Amino acid sequence: MNYYNEIKKNLIDNEINRKVKSYSTNKSDLNTYYNVGKLLLEAGNQYGESIIKEYSLRLTEELGSGYSQRNLRNMRRFYKVSQKWQTVSAKLSWSHYCEVLWFDDNKFQYYVKIAELNSLSIRQLREKIKSNEYERLPESTKNKIINHDESNVVDFVKNPIMIRNSNKYDIFSEKVLQKLILEDIENFLEELGNGFTFIKSEYPIKLLDRYNYIDLLLYNIKYKCYVVVELKVTELKKEHTGQIMIYMNYIDKNIKTIDENDTVGIIICKQDNEYVIKYCSDERIIAREYELV
């Protein structure tokens, strides 16, 4: 087989298709680069790695820019990844795939999944990668991704949670932390995962004859449950779990309906204490550290 001529033909056909069938450009790109990647792999096995450089020079001279050695290697990698995971989706563009092609298997699967589910733009995907979102997932969540296990409401809550401090506040307290979160509530909800919506800050509940105030009350649409968030600018302490447990039980008994799942509690603190959570009697409570950016 003349690999070069076959590769060139695929690329020319794709350029023609892109001009006359713009509605299917993305699908055409992915199919073409998949086929070209397969041919490049076979050519490399027969002629060696230097064939990438040779084909790149010839294609650039005959077809123009866009066929650098890096791009050809991306096409070959795309074919290998597609063969392994069967994850090629026309919902993601070639540019999306180029951002994640060289990640390890589980990291690749994670970013492809969230990009597809959340219709992320290239910019949004890059931001998530830049923030090390995958690295901030708990190991238990990564294992679920590997094993394709069903996730729960808190699996994708990052650690640490990145909270933007655009105004560079110096005096720090739980009120200031709450203010920072409320100033960019959308980003905060994304740090928690999918399906979170904001209900109210300083949500009042009456215990006996005294009012208490939940720092943040959220609701998760996907998992149909309320989420109580308490903010602490200190190390996690055992009394913090006791406090949030009371608030969660109040929501369950007074607000939650029979069709909804039990309330979940998230304590956001300056420093985690694994033993406090390890020996907490309520498995619905998790703790996450925060980091100002």
pLDDT digits (tens, 9 = 90+) for 49-84: 999 999 999 999 999 999 999 999 999 999 999 988
- Which carries the bigger pLDDT value, residue 270 or residue 18? 270
Q: Report whether 17 contacts 29 (CB < 8 A).
A: no
pLDDT score for 137: 95
**Residue ranges per structural domain of the chain:** 3-90, 151-292
Q: Which of the four pLDDT bands, split at 50, 70 and 90, describes residue 85?
A: confident
**pLDDT at residue 10 is higher than 60:** yes
End-to-end CA distance of the chain: 55
Polymer length in residues for the chain: 293
State the DSSP code for 193.
-
Q: What is the pLDDT of residues 132-180, one digit of tens each?
A: 999 999 999 988 887 888 999 999 999 999 999 988 887 689 999 999 9
Tell me which range, 115-119, 127-131, 272-276, is most confidently predicted by mean pLDDT. 127-131
Q: What is the pLDDT of residues 171-221, one digit of tens each?
A: 689 999 999 999 999 999 999 999 999 999 999 999 988 999 999 999 999
Q: State how far Cα 263 lies from the chain centre.
A: 24
151-292 maps to which CATH number?
3.40.1350.10
Predicted structure pTM score? 0.85
Strands, sheet with 285-292, edge to edge from the N-terminal-most edge strand? 161-163, 285-292, 264-269, 225-231, 210-220, 196-207
Q: Report whether 152 contacts 138 (CB < 8 A).
A: no
**pLDDT at residue 18 is higher than 80:** no
